[in-house]
Chain A
Amino acid sequence: MTFYLVLTVNSVTFGGLLFLLSAGFSLIFGLMRIPNLTHGSLFMIGAYIGATFVIGLLGVKLNFWLAAILATLAVALLGALAERLLLRRLPGDQLAQVLVTLGLSFMAADACLALWGGDPLNVPTPDGLGGFVRTGIGAFPLYRVAVIAIAVVFAVALWLLLDRTRLGAMIRAGVDDPDMARVVGIRVSQLFTIVFALGAGLAAFAGIIGGPILSVYPGLDQDMLPLALVVVILGGSGSLLGSFVGSIVVGFLYNFGQALLPELAYFVLFLPMLLVLLLRPQGLFGRHVP
């Protein structure tokens, strides 16, 4: 029983991280139709930058949360630059976008390897979150519970931003019909940069807060990107609710699959994606794009 409870908490925690990673991925794809294959790299770069400050590799040791904010802002800026300088020049050309973002992700992986070496970096759990929460049904690592809480806070904040503000309505209008959004005067190209920076920052934030659980290592990007893809395909691109539900589902499939059917873990993960692609290509919460 405890085994399943722990597995459940781990699944929800992982789902929370995946949500932070995939919400931006989904928005970028929904709004800009760009399959951003650097998204795993943004997660990894955020984790590396954050870890550098938390561990004090450059001689500067920062508080975990301050390091997380710095890493988030740095990667958001990196995302905005990539959008302005590269992706903007390839509008509507998905093959070129795939190739450019894939190429960037290889370059990022090499750069990280050169800068941080091949050994994994273990990120210490932030102060005060190292213990366990004891409840009537068992004890759970406090940090994992905190990650779940953070993901829920971000989900609510993102929902408020997208659903309750004019900026959010403009972003959704851009997802609905980019040409019409421009016709009514919305500066869609500015929205693109904002959304890309937001998505990159969220991915980086997920990377650093995932650090104490996953650690930071070469190949982290390639481990995370397919999971974000599965989330977006399951949930539907451009849908925040879809990302949320998709992330939790993938969190469960990944953890339960690895624990109960380790030899079939990827089968368990990708089979539902295959079925969704066949039966409901727009995803569970996505709208059909003609």
Chain B
Amino acid sequence: MATSALSLSHIDAFYGDSHVLADVSFELGEARMLGLLGRNGAGKSTCMNVTMGLLPPRRGTVAIFGQSVSGLPPEQIAARGVALVPQGRRIFKSLTVRENLIVAARKPDAGSKHAPWTIETVFGMFPRLSERSGQIAAHLSGGEQQMLAIGRALMGNPRVLLMDEPSEGLAPQIVAEVMATIRKLKESGLSIVLVEQNPKLVFDVADDIVILNTGQVAVVSTPSALSQDGVDLRQHLGVF
């Protein structure tokens, strides 16, 4: 089997005494998109934080293209080609749009198959950011902030892109725009984990699905298999 872009194996993670991930394992194949679903508090964002090194797991390993990154700090994991579009966007609000992008710039790895992301190519993908390049990021609309968070992640020329609820808090029209962007990124060959509460958004674009329930992996499947098998998603996801 080909090396997976990202693998989490037997991860146990805690916030204080609270056991938030229990023996979580899943893999993201190269150039594939994995939809990570689950209710509020199921542990989706924690998986992202563990992958990114923000929350060191108590047990288990995280590997990027076969190399373990367990125990590394976030900046070194970023240097291995992982980028995060975090929940709540968390752009640098006092920086301008352009500054948000340049602070995250990282040269692509040698031998990368993709054309490198630069300020120009990010602005090409999000013309609205280009128009506002000198503006303080705090003054952007929610949709524009989301585009900036995605653009900022791309500036790191990642091999693995983690997207934590990119549709959260956005108007439906903007969600459609963001999803179109995500589709484009997937077509460019990037390996992506898309975390969502809304399964409908994920089923359209993801190749594989992992559903978390109360900190454990409940389902590993594909969108088509899930719709054929008639798995009761309500059991894991609440309202559907």
**Which positions in A face B, CB cutoff 8 Å?**
166, 169-170, 172-173, 175-177, 179-188, 287
Contacts and interface: CB of A to CB of B under 8 A. Distances in A.
Interface of B: 52-54, 73-75, 78-79, 83-84, 86, 90, 92-95, 99-100, 102-104, 106, 152-153, 155-156
A175 B94 CA distance: 9
A169 B155 CA distance: 15
A188 B90 contact: no
Given A179-B74, A180-B86, A185 B95 contact: no
A186 B103 contact: yes
Contacts of B79: 185
Given A183-B75, A184-B104, 19 more contacts: A169-B103, A173-B99, A173-B103, A176-B92, A176-B93, A177-B92, A182-B54, A182-B74, A182-B75, A182-B78, A183-B52, A183-B86, A184-B103, A184-B152, A185-B78, A185-B156, A186-B103, A186-B104, A287-B93
Nearest to B80: A185
Q: Could you tell me the dominant secondary structure of chain A's interface residues?
A: helix
A176 B75 contact: no
Given A169-B102, A172-B94, A287-B94, A185 B75 contact: yes
B95 to A, nearest CB: 6
A185 B104 CA distance: 6
B118 to A, nearest CB: 14
A263 B234 CA distance: 73
B193 to A, nearest CB: 14
Contact of A172 (B54, B78, B95, B104): B95
A186 B75 CA distance: 6
A185 B103 CA distance: 8
Contacts of A169: 95, 99, 102-103
B188 to A, nearest CB: 20
Nearest to B96: A169
26 contacts: A169-B99, A169-B103, A172-B94, A172-B95, A173-B103, A175-B94, A176-B95, A177-B90, A180-B90, A182-B53, A182-B73, A183-B54, A183-B84, A184-B78, A184-B83, A184-B103, A184-B152, A184-B155, A185-B75, A185-B104, A185-B106, A186-B75, A186-B104, A188-B75, A287-B93, A287-B94
B94 A184 contact: no
A173 B95 contact: yes
Contacts of B74: 179, 182-183
A173 B92 contact: yes
Nearest to A179: B54
Contacts of B103: 166, 169-170, 173, 181, 184, 186
Contacts of B102: 166, 169
The list of the 10 closest CB pairs from A to B, nearest first, reads A185-B78, A184-B104, A182-B74, A169-B99, A173-B92, A176-B92, A182-B75, A180-B90, A183-B74, A173-B103
